[in-house]
C-alpha cells in the first residue's frame, strides 16, 4: 500500500466526498480511491493497466476529469472534447494522484503527460486572488464561477499543489511547474484567510462559496444560501492546521475558527430517522452537533428547501430536501480534537 497516499490528510479528503466508497468486488466498480490503495504490483498488472487506460480516456481536452464518474472502472464513451471536467466531488485531484503514482512505478510517459496537462489546468484555472471556480473555464452567470470551498474542493487542490511543490514523490515534475505549484499554494492560502467572514469585528468561519471578485459569501443552489458553513469551515480549519509552519495569520484564523465552533455547537438535540424521515428530538445525552448552515449575523442554524426560503426548523422544509442533504454533523468534534494536538505543536501567540 502506498503510504503517502494513505495519509490521514489525504484519506480525510477522500472520505469527505466519497471517493473511497463503493464495491471492491471487481474492476468494473473500481473507484479512484480503491485504485490508490492497490499494491505496487497492481499497476503493472493487466487489470491495473486497463484501469489506468480507462482513466486516461476520461481526461478532457482541458486536462480535467468529470465528477460522479468511476473513471477507473470503464473507458469513456465520450470524446475528450465533449467531457465536462471539474474540481468538484474529488474529481481531477484523485485522478492526478493516481497517475503520479502510476508514473513513479511504471515510467509510462502517457501517465506523466496526462498528469502535466491536469496540473497545468489547475494552475491556469486559479484566479489572481488565489481562489478557484468549481470548474474552468466557469460560466459567467452561474454559481460555479464562485470560489469553491464546497465539499472540500479548494483544499484538495491546495493539498495536491503542496505535495507537488514539496514532496519528493513528485520529483518527476519539472522545476518550473513545482515553483508554479508553490506560488499557487501560497496564493490559495492567502485567499482562504481573506475570505474568513468577519461579523461585528470578529473573525468567524467561511461560506461554502465566496464571490470571485469581492470575496463575500455567496449562494449556490437554491437551498444553499449565503451562510457560515459548519461542514466546509471544518475542512478549511483542518487544512490550515495541516500546514507544518503556519504563519501568524494562519494561527489567528485557526484560533478564531475554533472559537466559533465552540460557540456554535448544538447541544441537547439528536438527529434521528423515524420511518425514514429525519427528525430532531430532545436528548440531554446526545453528543454536540453542528449545523451545515448558520445565518450570518445572528448565527442561527437554518434550513432551506428547493423554494429557496430560509427556515429555522428542519421539519419545515420538504421531505426530499430534509432527507436528501447533510444538515447536521459532528464536524466540530474533528476540529476540536485536531486543535488540541495542534496547540501543543504550535504555541498560540
| Domain spanning 1-193, CATH architecture | Alpha/alpha barrel (1.50)
H or E, element range at 281? strand 277-282
Question: 54: Cβ–Cβ under 8 A, 6 or more apart, which residues?
Answer: 71, 72, 73, 74, 75, 76
- Position 345 scores a pLDDT of 87
Instruction: Kindly report the average pLDDT of the chain as a whole number.
Output: 92
3-class SS at 39?
coil
- Position 15 scores a pLDDT of 39
Among candidate residues 202, 221, 279, 300, the one labeled active-site is: 221
Distance from C-alpha of 71 to C-alpha of 107, rounded to nearest angstrom: 21
Do 1-193 and 196-349 come out as alike in CATH topology? yes
- Position 233 scores a pLDDT of 98
pLDDT at 12 over 70: no
Distance from C-alpha of 168 to C-alpha of 200, rounded to nearest angstrom: 44
> pTM score, two decimals?
0.90
Which backbone phi and psi does 333 adopt, to 5 degrees? -60, -45
The average pLDDT across 211-234 equals: 98
- Position 26 scores a pLDDT of 54
Q: What is the DSSP string of 51-73?
A: HHHHHHHT--TTS-B-SS--TTT
pLDDT at 24 over 80: no
Percent of the chain with pLDDT over 90: 90
- Position 347 scores a pLDDT of 65
Catalytic residue list contains 218: no
Catalytic residue list contains 89: yes
Among candidate residues 54, 89, 129, 150, the one labeled active-site is: 89
Q: What Rg, from alpha-carbon coordinates, does the chain have?
A: 20
As given in the structure block, the three cell numbers for residue 170 are 513528485
- Position 88 scores a pLDDT of 96
As given in the structure block, the three cell numbers for residue 44 are 503493472
As given in the structure block, the three cell numbers for residue 69 are 464518474
* pLDDT tens digits, one per residue of 83-101: 999 999 999 999 999 999 9
Instruction: Select from 222, 228, 217, 215 the least CA-distant residue to 257.
Output: 228
- Position 210 scores a pLDDT of 98
- Position 302 scores a pLDDT of 98
The average pLDDT across 32-56 equals: 98
| Spans of all domains in the chain | 1-193, 196-349
pLDDT at 13 over 70: no
3-class SS at 128?
coil
Higher pLDDT, 74 or 8: 74
Confidence of residue 27 (pLDDT cuts 50, 70, 90): low
Q: Are 35 and 15 in contact (CB under 8 A)?
A: no
Distance from C-alpha of 210 to C-alpha of 192, rounded to nearest angstrom: 10
- Burial label, 98 (beta-carbon count in 10 A; 0-12, 13-18, 19+): buried
pLDDT at 186 over 60: yes
Percent of the chain with pLDDT over 70: 91
Query: 196-349, which class in CATH?
Result: mainly alpha
As given in the structure block, the three cell numbers for residue 222 are 437554491
pLDDT at 273 over 70: yes
In the block, cell 447536521 appears at 328
Amino acid at each position: 500500500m502506498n503510504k503517502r497516499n494513505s495519509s490521514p490528510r489525504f484519506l480525510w479528503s477522500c472520505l469527505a466526498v466519497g471517493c473511497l466508497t463503493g464495491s471492491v468486488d471487481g474492476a468494473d466498480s473500481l473507484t479512484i480511491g480503491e485504485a490508490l490503495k492497490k499494491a505496487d504490483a497492481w499497476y503493472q498488472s493487466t487489470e491495473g493497466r486497463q484501469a489506468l487506460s480507462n482513466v486516461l480516456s476520461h481526461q478532457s481536452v482541458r486536462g480535467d476529469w468529470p465528477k460522479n464518474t468511476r473513471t477507473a472502472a470503464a473507458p469513456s464513451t465520450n470524446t475528450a472534447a465533449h467531457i465536462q471536467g471539474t474540481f468538484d466531488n474529488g474529481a481531477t485531484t484523485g485522478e492526478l494522484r493516481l497517475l503520479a503514482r502510476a508514473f513513479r512505478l511504471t515510467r509510462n510517459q502517457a501517465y506523466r503527460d496526462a498528469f502535466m496537462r491536469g496540473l497545468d489546468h489547475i494552475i491556469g484555472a486559479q484566479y489572481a486572488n488565489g481562489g478557484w471556480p468549481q470548474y474552468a473555464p466557469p460560466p459567467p452567470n452561474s454559481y460555479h464561477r464562485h470560489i469553491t470551498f464546497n465539499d472540500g474542493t479548494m483544499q484538495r487542490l491546495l493539498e495536491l499543489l503542496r505535495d507537488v511543490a514539496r514532496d519528493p514523490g513528485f520529483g518527476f515534475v519539472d522545476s518550473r511547474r513545482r515553483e508554479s505549484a508553490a506560488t499557487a499554494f501560497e496564493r490559495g492560502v492567502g485567499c482562504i484567510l481573506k475570505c474568513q467572514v468577519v461579523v461585528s469585528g470578529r473573525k468567524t468561519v467561511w461560506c461554502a462559496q465566496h464571490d470571485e471578485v469581492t470575496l463575500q459569501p455567496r449562494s449556490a443552489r437554491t437551498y444553499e444560501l449565503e451562510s457560515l458553513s459548519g461542514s466546509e469551515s471544518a475542512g478549511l480549519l483542518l487544512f490550515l492546521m495541516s500546514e507544518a509552519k503556519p504563519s501568524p495569520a494562519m494561527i489567528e484564523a485557526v484560533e478564531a475558527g475554533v472559537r466559533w465552533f465552540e460557540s456554535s455547537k448544538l447541544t441537547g438535540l439528536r438527529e434521528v430517522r423515524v420511518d425514514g424521515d429525519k427528525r430532531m428530538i430532545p436528548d440531554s445525552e446526545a453528543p454536540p452537533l453542528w449545523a451545515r448552515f448558520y445565518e450570518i449575523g445572528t448565527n442561527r442554524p437554518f434550513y432551506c428547501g428547493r423554494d429557496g426560503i430560509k427556515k429555522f426548523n428542519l421539519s419545515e422544509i420538504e421531505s426530499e430536501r430534509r432527507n436528501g442533504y447533510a444538515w447536521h454533523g459532528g464536524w466540530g468534534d474533528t476540529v476540536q480534537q485536531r486543535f488540541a494536538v495542534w496547540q501543543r505543536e504550535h504555541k498560540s501567540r
